[in-house]
Chain A
């Protein structure tokens, strides 16, 4: 067995020396490690975070504005903006010249901007795709592109003054963009992320999410809006008018289906729109609207029991003196009933009705109809209009109020009040925003104003035939006798008001008119009311029936078609071809001579075979049968079959063209 190894003394000294040295070195390392990891940890942690942790701005897109059918009216999308870091630019002059050329900017002004001591300077925001590509391709040091959200209005001028617009920083500046800004604007967040050595992001803070802007759904239908704007634009051009408004309102809910205003603007390029008079005149402008107000005077008198529809008044040949003032009519009638006064738009008659009603009751009725106060619609700049206190009216004031002078109203007030008369007496405050949905589709705002009765049902129902008589034809016809609403009966009222000449401060005798027409359809079951106001027509015509009336017909026709309101028999301006009379042959049994359609049992399923789609639908509608149409051409099969017993509620009809062979599946029930 070997004994323990004996080291040379010097070797032991050296080993101990090295061990001591290593111990000292490790102690120094441990000390430094302690300093880095524990004593000065917070300081170095902060430095590391500054180097690796990047703060990323996570943008929240502005909410979309939809029409009632879900079509986008205002959308935000990212487009490029050009910015520069002046610290990274060596050739200031060359960069400024090149950028100026690419972006269409003044090189001198750009050079001054790039000389900034800051590290970030906008060069041009929201550049086009070709500009962005050109800047990218130029590879200019210190010049970068970054996506920025921009508001787009795909309908261009469609509903421009209603939608308003958002500024370059995404804040609403006009219209619904302004009133709904707090809901449309999302909440951007700053999220921490780790940036690696190459600058790429990793480990984003996925827990933090921006709050996107809420989606606003309107009651507007873009088809109706488009029809209203086109009709208004045409009328403005034809009549050389200064301005105009069209309001389309659902009489049963107060929903605004269309709201056109002229002059208008494209929110994509608002420019100096407001300065040029482009605003939402339906709420921002007040008018002495004239004879349209007779509807409310007469409705109030009927409601109060002051008159009945057949109460007769001597309208004195259309002239009447009140003190030193003369009230005149367009026509020279002798005696008119209340209905006749509305039909012929007699000012004298309206004054006499108002006198019988009394000043205070007429004043209260106007307030009840919503005049003199805001409707509360979600649009900026709404005016209240003015209904002066009754005690300040005087005899002349009572007279002029009766036919629409001496008080100022907004078009939206008139449309809402008229809708109440049309629907049987219930006032629904107008609304244009149906609902607002936040993140995840949760409804965060829904405006469903309660309707309230402002007119007895009896008075409202008495008003309908009177307003329908405005369309009566002939020598003693109504003031809208030139208007024909093809396929529907309607009620309405014309208005032609003199405006005050700003030069004289008095009502202009000629040249300054406000032409208007308000009406609803269908007469028996009103769905929609349309108000048209044409301001200062300078063409050959100025009467409401001639200037605003045609716009009303065009818009109402488009709306009732769009809403699929069934036409009323016997009201077509161009009636469809009548069926040829059936010649009865006395020698044959009667059953063989009468067309099958007339002899079939109305309770059983009719035979659609051989009919075109239109005829089949008409017959089905008459029988109250819901039809599922398949294909086009002539009906070749139907389920249930013709003559099926019982009162079937539905029927599937297969149509095919003679040349087309129907598929097997389509011929199976």
Chain B
């Protein structure tokens, strides 16, 4: 009979310890996720900057490649000539 209060006390302490341990594990787990997401955000931001920069470079390249002067030189080197006025037909609704 005298051991019962002691057993209850031990059990209580055990539950309390388990509870605290669980909370601790959960807290550490959250911290870990927090840090992992931080790294992911960091690398995603870096990737965003990289692809944005790549996009700018590609647009720049496109602009260089479609330069009217370059197109004209290439066309001339392929033997193309400007059409005369009577060879041109304007398509209604067409836009430059």
| Chain A residues proximal to chain B, CB less than 8 Å | 61, 64, 69, 71-73, 75-78, 147, 152, 154-156, 158, 193-194, 200-204, 206, 221-223, 226-227, 230, 486-487, 557, 561-567, 572-576, 613-614, 617-618, 620-621, 624-627, 629
State whether A563 touches B91 (Cβ < 8 A). Answer: no
Known: A487-B85, A614-B89. A564 touches B38 (CB 8 A): no
B67 touching A626, Cβ below 8 Å: no
A621/B60 in contact, CB under 8 A: no
Q: For residue A572, which residues in chain B have a CB less than 8 angstroms away from its CB?
A: 85-86
Contact between B42 and A486 (Cβ–Cβ < 8 Å)? no
Measured CB to CB, the closest approach of chain A to B95, in angstroms, equals 7
A576 touches B42 (CB 8 A): no
A562 to B91, CA, bound (A): 12
Besides the known contacts A567-B88, A629-B91, 6 further A-B residue pairs in the complex with CB atoms under 8 A apart:
A154-B60, A154-B63, A155-B63, A223-B96, A487-B88, A617-B90
Query: Does B32 sit within 8 A of A, measured CB to CB?
Result: no
**Inside 8 A of A64's CB, which chain B residues have their CB?**
59
B53 neighbours in A (Cβ, 8 Å): 77-78, 147
Q: 15 A-B Cβ contacts within 8 A? A: A71-B66, A77-B57, A147-B53, A154-B64, A154-B67, A155-B67, A158-B67, A202-B39, A203-B34, A203-B42, A204-B42, A563-B96, A620-B92, A625-B92, A626-B93
When A78-B53, A203-B41 are in contact, do A576 and B86 touch as well, CB less than 8 Å?
Answer: yes
Per the bound structure, the CA–CA distance linking A69 and B63 in Å amounts to 12
Could you tell me how many residues of chain B have their Cβ less than 8 Å away from some Cβ of chain A? 34
Say whether B87 contacts A77, CB under 8 Å.
Answer: no
Q: Establish whether residues B94 and A202, one from each chain, have CB atoms under 8 Å apart when the complex forms.
A: no
- B35 on interface, CB distance cutoff 8 Å: yes
Pick the contact of B38: A154, A194, A222, A627 (CB < 8 A): A194
Measured in the bound complex, the distance between the Cα atoms of B82 and A480 in whole Å is 24
Q: In the complex, what residue of chain A is closest to B89 when comparing beta carbons?
A: A617
B69–A158 touching, CB < 8 Å: yes
Q: How far is the CA of A72 from the CA of B67 in the complex (A)?
A: 10
**Is the CB of B27 closer than 8 A to any CB of chain A?**
no
Closest residue of chain B to A66 (Cβ to Cβ) is B63
Cβ A75 vs Cβ B56 within 8 A: yes
Among B34, B59, B88, B89, the one with the most A-chain Cβ atoms within 10 Å of its Cβ is B89
B84 to chain A, nearest CB (A): 6
Query: Pick the contact of B90 from A200, A222, A565 — CB < 8 Å?
Result: A565
Report B-chain residues with C-beta under 8 Å of the C-beta of A567.
85-86, 88, 90
Contact check, A77 vs B60: say whether CB atoms are below 8 A apart. yes
- For the complex, is B21 an interface residue (Cβ under 8 Å from A)? no
User: Is B68 an interface position by the 8 A CB rule?
Assistant: yes
> What's the least CB distance linking A327 to chain B, in Å?
40
A155–B95 Cα distance when bound, in Å, is: 22
B41: chain A residues within 8 A (beta carbon): 202-204, 206
**Contact A564–B90 (Cβ < 8 Å):** yes
Chain A residue nearest to B34 (CB atoms) is A203
Which B residues touch A617, using CB under 8 A?
A: 89-91
Please give, as numbers and ranges, the residues of chain B lying within 8 Å of A61 by CB-CB distance.
52, 56
B56: A residues at CB distance < 8 A: 61, 75-78
Bound complex: CA A152 to CA B53 (Å): 13
B45 at the interface (CB under 8 A from A): yes
Ranked nearest first, the 3 interchain pairs of A and B with the lowest CB-CB distance are A203-B38, A487-B85, A202-B38
Q: Which residue of A lies closest to B85 (CB)?
A: A487
One of A76, A204, A486, A563 near B85 (C-beta < 8 A): A486
Distance of B37 from chain A, by nearest CB (Å): 8
Q: A613–B64 contact, CB under 8 A?
A: no
Q: Which of B48-76 contact A (CB under 8 A)?
A: 52-53, 56-57, 59-60, 62-64, 66-69, 72
Given A71-B63, A75-B59, A230-B69, verify A613-B89 contact (CB < 8 Å): yes
Instruction: Report how far A562 CA is from B95 CA in the complex, Å.
Output: 9
Inter-chain contacts of A624 with B (CB < 8 A): 92
Residue of B nearest to A575 (CB): B86
CB A211 to nearest CB in B, in angstroms, measures 14
Name B61's closest neighbour in chain A (CB-CB). Answer: A154
Which one of B34, B87, B91 has the greatest number of beta carbons of chain A within 10 Å?
B91
The one of A203, A613, A621 in contact with B92, judged by C-beta atoms closer than 8 angstroms, is A621
**Which residues of the partner chain B approach A76 to less than 8 Å between Cβ atoms?**
56
Q: How far is the CB of B40 from chain A (nearest CB, A)?
A: 9
Q: What distance in Å separates the Cβ of A615 from its nearest Cβ neighbour in chain B?
A: 8
CA distance A221 to B96 in the complex (A): 10
Could you say which residues of chain B place their CB within 8 Å of the CB of A574?
A: 84-86
Do A200 and B86 touch across chains, with their CB atoms under 8 A apart?
A: no
Are the CB atoms of A193 and B85 closer together than 8 Å?
no
Q: How far is the CA of A632 from the CA of B62 in the complex (A)?
A: 28
**B85, A69: Cβ atoms closer than 8 Å:** no
On chain B, the residues within 8 Å of A73 by CB distance are: 63
Given that A77-B53, A202-B38, A572-B85 are known contacts, is A226 also in contact with B45, CB under 8 Å in the complex?
A: no
Q: What is the chain A residue whose CB lies nearest that of B68?
A: A226
Chain B residue at minimal CB-CB distance from A566 = B90
In angstroms, Cα B94 to Cα A563, docked, is 9
CA distance A256 to B62 in the complex (A): 24
A562–B92 CA distance with the chains assembled, in angstroms: 14
Q: With both chains docked as a complex, state the minimum distance between the C-beta of A521 and any C-beta of chain B, in angstroms.
A: 12
Least CB separation from A71: chain B residue: B63
Chain B residues contacting A147 (CB-CB under 8 Å) are 53
Complex Cα distance, B84 from A206, in Å, reads 59
Query: Which A residue sits closest to B58, measured CB to CB?
Result: A77
Indicate whether A562 sits within 8 Å of B85 (C-beta atoms), given known contacts A155-B63, A223-B68, A621-B90.
no
Cβ-defined contact, B96 with A202, below 8 A:
no
Closest to B45 in A: A204
Of A78, A562, A613, A627, which is within 8 A of B96 by CB? Answer: A562
CB of B34 to closest CB in A, whole Å: 8
Residues of A contacting B52 with CB < 8 Å? 61
Q: A563-B96, A567-B88, A575-B86 are contacts. A201–B42 as well, Cβ < 8 Å? A: yes
In the bound complex, CA of A518 to CA of B6 (Å): 110
Contacts of B42 in A (CB 8 A): 193, 200-204
Residues of A within 8 A of B88 (CB): 487, 561, 567
The reply to whether B60 and A69 contact each other, CB–CB distance below 8 Å, is no
Which one of A77, A194, A557, A567 has the highest number of Cβ atoms from chain B below 10 Å of its Cβ? A77
Complex CA distance for A247 and B95, rounded to whole angstroms? 22
Q: Which residue of A lies closest to B95 (CB)?
A: A564
A72, B69: Cβ atoms under 8 Å? no
**Cα distance A274–B39 when bound, in Å?**
50
Instruction: Give min CB distance, A628 to chain B, whole Å.
Output: 9
Asked if B96 and A614 make an inter-chain contact with CB atoms under 8 angstroms apart, the answer reads no
Q: Which residues of A sit under 8 angstroms from B89, Cβ to Cβ?
A: 613-614, 617-618, 621
- Give every chain B residue within 8 A of A566 (Cβ-Cβ): 90
A61's nearest neighbour on chain B, judged by CB, is B56
Chain A residues with Cβ below 8 Å from B38 are: 194, 202-204
A72 CB contacts on chain B under 8 angstroms = 59-60, 62-63
